[in-house]
Homo-oligomer: A and B are copies of this chain.
């Protein structure tokens, strides 16, 4: 490919709106460009990267026996309504109507539709296990598209779906996909870790995310440095610290303390000179249906909204209003669990010690409030873990909280969809049983940008060879020197005959511009054919990832380049 004809122009400076290093480099190197907020076009260089990423995903899916197919982008409302997701997904999806008023969703995912097909194509247990997958555009009406391809409004996802006859079969399929994902990310140069996660809108019980740890990620992940425990914040738990768990046996009955104007934990800390963990925080909340609930945590803990939504089985949690406070007998700023007339959830981080809690009277708190003695509630895990918490798995390591980008996720949803859709097969015992399923997603664009976010230096991108847009970047310096051009073009032809992918910088630009662009584009091997090198009848080979270079005789250059390329992982 002649760079002079490349559709895609490098930029010295990234547009001001670029938010992360990868976002800046993606725009500067003309990998992808936006048409509107969150709607991106792959320009030819980026298209090649995306196709290589797609091909790695495809090969690893095929390796575990998955079959490729393709379902449409527009999906009829009726089917979404069968599972209740037409309404549940409304806030995050794009919808359209035909001219007869029939409704469609720009597909968000395809669980419902693959079940429709499975009902037709899979009649008998003999046809299982089955995994099918496709690459298809998804729409997500993200309120805040972010950081280029990291959070967009349209993207191509590889989504795979497994169908098994029972839970044991699902576990095998799930494990096969888990393995395929690990190989997939490794092959594309991503150091992704598997993290326990919540099932969210997908239903079911077991789910994992594949997270690449990087500061630009917006997810937070708890990681144990002592064992292999990894969980996202919606799922992470901790072991209770023994030293914090004081017994309450000898504690006196609650007594009042005057706390005029102290309506927050911070104010209480200051006025009573106690650490935050000495207090109880009581939150009065209402779910999407308007049901009110109180959540009780130690003063030093934050509620995890996703955990709470899952506990309550709701899509939304808001603060309670004045009417709710009155009904519960709580007083805003001085609310506490003692005597509260409402469903009460007591977080597991509340231990046996004597706390200071709101008295449900203005300007008044109670000291010596003990859980299960002075108040009672359902025990739930609704708090955020934090750095330093004890690992729930090994009980020894102290959790670290990292930032990550979710590059893939897998869900074992079981019969969540098949039961709602009455999607059944003929089982070995002659009865009809619901399919037991899982779904497995990878966002292609996010993977590409995450590769950039984790492979760059101050000069530009450093593509892992297996996903680089081209393998070799040949620079002719200067291109208007007959001899240089002739040698450079002969080399390019030789390399292409060998099946090596070459970008040939034939532009009439200075050495400075060409070297800077080569560093920016980040093609793994740079080969310079210059007037100076030709005096020695040589070409200069330089890996983008190294500062060393190598002079190779021109008549050996093709062979040597072939060796370098052959040494790379595929």
Q: Which residues of A pack against B, CB within 8 Å?
A: 1, 4-9, 30, 33, 35-36, 39-44, 47, 50, 65, 67-76, 79, 91, 94-100, 104, 106, 113, 116-117, 120-123, 126-127, 130, 132, 134, 137, 139, 141, 143, 153-154
Q: Could you say which residues of chain B place their CB within 8 Å of the CB of A4?
A: 126-127
CB-defined contacts of A134 to chain B, threshold 8 Å: 47
In the complex, chain B residues whose CB is within 8 Å of the CB of A123: 9
Residue of B nearest to A98 (CB): B141
Contact call B35/A72, Cβ cutoff below 8 A: yes
Neighbouring B residues of A130 by C-beta, 8 Å: 5, 7
Contact B99 A67 (CB under 8 A): no
A139 to B98, CA, bound (A): 11
Contacts of A99 in B (CB 8 A): 91, 141, 143
- What is the predominant secondary structure among interface residues of chain A facing chain B? mixed
22 interchain pairs (CB within 8 A)?
A: A4-B126, A4-B127, A5-B67, A7-B130, A35-B72, A36-B104, A39-B72, A40-B72, A41-B117, A42-B69, A42-B70, A47-B134, A72-B137, A73-B139, A74-B106, A74-B153, A74-B154, A94-B97, A95-B96, A96-B139, A98-B141, A99-B143
Within 8 Å CB of A43, what residues of B?
69, 117, 121
Q: CA A312 – CA B288 in complex, angstroms?
A: 56
**Contact with A71, one of B35, B98, B132 (Cβ below 8 angstroms):** B35
| Number of identical protomers | 2
- Chain B residues whose CB sits within 8 angstroms of the CB of A9 once the complex forms: 120-121, 123
How far is it, in angstroms, between the C-alpha of A134 and the C-alpha of B48 when the chains are bound?
12
Q: Of residues A9, A36, A40, A130, which shows the largest number of chain B Cβ atoms within 10 Å of its Cβ? A: A36
| Most B-side CB within 10 Å, residue of A6, A94, A100, A126 | A94
Closest chain-B Cβ to A36's Cβ sits at a distance in Å of 4
Contact of B121 with A7 in the complex, beta carbons under 8 Å:
yes
* A44 proximity list for chain B (CB < 8 A): 67-69, 132
A69-B121 Cα distance, complex, nearest whole Å: 34
Residues of B within 8 A of A127 (CB): 4-5
Cα A406 to Cα B9 with chains together (Å): 36
